[in-house]
């Protein structure tokens, strides 16, 4: 079955994994819109120019996905310009790593609202249209650290584990309506997020990965492309690990 060209929205679209996802979906023929965090407008414009130089026409739109109002406003604008979102990739995420002893309320709240509440904020305004059209693909980008926990990431692990809870529940509500909802749980990926870790900590973690390397963003994007395709219609509520063997269960 051929995959049709669909409207795809990627939050965190200009980030390390998000960029590869946007490229992949655009190369597949979808009309991709990349959502970025508004203070990063200059970065987003440079990103868009870089994509254009690759031959990819990818519109960008700013929104603070930790805000329901701003997310709803953004979804309304995307719908007005390109039509209802049919493929949604919830990829926006941040880290505020610190041991729990040092974990402050601000670092907890920032990660929970950006990494978890965002899934509600962005998906809710899209959901009714997906129900009405009888088609939808929702792909939530979680993390191996939501599956196994990680020293220094109580906030991040909680948010990422919560994201898969969201997937499992929403998958049941979408199943009879043509909407699939799945999670992808990447391990450590070559992005600015992992580059920001202390070198010794990062190297120690890579040494524990059976494949002895980090993932390339394209290795995550390939699975997003697979789940977004029309052919993946019978996969829902799944959590697909892409972690080089770091966590096998
Ligand atoms: N298990 C048990 N003990 C550990 C440990 C671990 N994994 N890591 C560190 N410790 C111990 C240390 O040995 C040290 O012990 P002593 O006090 O007895 O010497 C103590 O805990 C403090 O460790 P640090 O020196 O690391 O503490 P710090 O305050 O300098 O740094 C931290 C804390 C910033 C959280 C740092 O430990 C860290 O960066 N950890 C890794 C967090 C991580 O994996 N982040 C992933 C970011 S990328 C991402 O999130 C993408 C994704 O989805 C995978």
Flag whether pLDDT at 3 surpasses 80.
no
For residue range 200-241, list pLDDT tens digits in order.
999 999 999 999 999 999 999 999 999 999 999 999 999 999
Written as six digits, the tokens of 70 are 């701003």
At residue 2 the predicted structure's pLDDT band, cuts being 50, 70 and 90, is low
Flag whether pLDDT at 1 surpasses 50.
no
Q: How far apart are CA 142 and CA 135, in angstroms?
A: 23
Of ligand 1's atoms, which has the minimum distance to the CA of residue 188? 54
Q: How far apart are CA 37 and CA 239, in angstroms?
A: 26
* pLDDT (mean) for 148-172: 98
User: Considering only CA atoms, which residue is closest to atom 51 of ligand 1?
Assistant: 188
Of ligand 1's atoms, which has the minimum distance to the CA of residue 99? 35
The arrangement of strands across the sheet holding 239-242 comes to 60-62, 31-36, 7-11, 87-90, 136-141, 179-186, 239-242
Amino acid 4: pLDDT: 83
The response to whether residue 201 sits with its C-beta less than 6 Å from ligand 1 reads yes
Q: With b meaning 16 or more CB within 10 Å and e meaning fewer, what string describes 54-87? A: eeeebebbebbbbebebbbebbeebbeebebbbb
Written as six digits, the tokens of 99 are 């041991």
Q: How far apart are CA 165 and CA 156, in angstroms?
A: 14
The response to whether residue 143 sits with its C-beta less than 6 Å from ligand 1 reads yes
User: Considering only CA atoms, which residue is closest to atom 38 of ligand 1?
Assistant: 152
The phi and psi torsions of 54 (rounded to 5 degrees) equal -85, 0
Helix (H) or strand (E) holding 47: helix 41-53
Q: How far apart are CA 238 and CA 139, in angstroms?
A: 10
16, 17, 94, 99: residue to mutate for ligand 1 pocket, most atoms within 8 A of CB = 99
The response to whether residue 193 sits with its C-beta less than 6 Å from ligand 1 reads yes
At residue 30 the predicted structure's pLDDT band, cuts being 50, 70 and 90, is very high
**Any idea which residues carry the catalytic annotation?**
156
Q: How many whole angstroms from 153 Cα to the centroid of ligand 1?
A: 8
Q: Three-class SS of residue 243?
A: coil
CATH fold for the domain made of 7-239:
Rossmann fold (3.40.50)
Q: How far apart are CA 219 and CA 33, in angstroms?
A: 20
* pLDDT (mean) for 75-83: 98
Amino acid 190: pLDDT: 97
* pLDDT (mean) for 55-60: 98
The response to whether residue 103 sits with its C-beta less than 6 Å from ligand 1 reads no
* pLDDT (mean) for 63-74: 98
The response to whether residue 148 sits with its C-beta less than 6 Å from ligand 1 reads no
* pLDDT (mean) for 41-45: 98
For residue range 100-122, list pLDDT tens digits in order.
999 999 999 999 999 999 999 99
Q: How many whole angstroms from 246 Cα to the centroid of ligand 1?
A: 17
Q: How many whole angstroms from 201 Cα to the centroid of ligand 1?
A: 7
Flag whether pLDDT at 13 surpasses 50.
yes
């Amino acid at each position: 079955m051929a995959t049709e060209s669909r409207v795809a929205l990627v939050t965190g679209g200009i980030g390390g994994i998000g960029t590869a996802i946007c490229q992949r979906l655009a190369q597949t023929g979808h009309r991709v819109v990349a959502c970025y965090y508004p203070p990063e407008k200059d970065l987003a414009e440079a990103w868009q120019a870089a994509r254009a130089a690759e031959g990819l026409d990818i519109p960008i739109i700013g929104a603070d996905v930790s805000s329901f109002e701003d997310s709803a406003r953004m979804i309304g604008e995307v719908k007005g310009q390109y039509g209802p979102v049919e493929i949604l990739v919830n990829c926006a995420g941040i880290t505020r790593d610190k041991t729990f002893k040092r974990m402050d309320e601000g670092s907890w709240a920032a990660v929970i609202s950006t990494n978890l509440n965002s899934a509600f904020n962005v998906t809710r305004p899209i959901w009714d249209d997906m129900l009405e059209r009888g088609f939808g693909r929702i792909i939530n980008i979680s993390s191996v650290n939501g599956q196994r926990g990680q020293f220094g990431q109580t906030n991040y692990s909680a948010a990422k584990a919560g994201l898969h809870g969201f997937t499992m529940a929403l998958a049941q509500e979408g199943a009879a309506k043509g909407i699939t909802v799945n999670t992808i749980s990447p391990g450590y990926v070559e992005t600015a997020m992992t580059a920001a870790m202390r070198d010794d900590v990062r190297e120690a973690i890579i040494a524990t990965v059976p494949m002895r390397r980090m993932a390339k963003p394209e290795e995550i994007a390939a699975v997003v492309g697979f789940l977004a395709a029309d052919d993946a219609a019978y996969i829902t509520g799944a959590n697909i690990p892409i972690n080089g063997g770091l966590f096998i269960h």
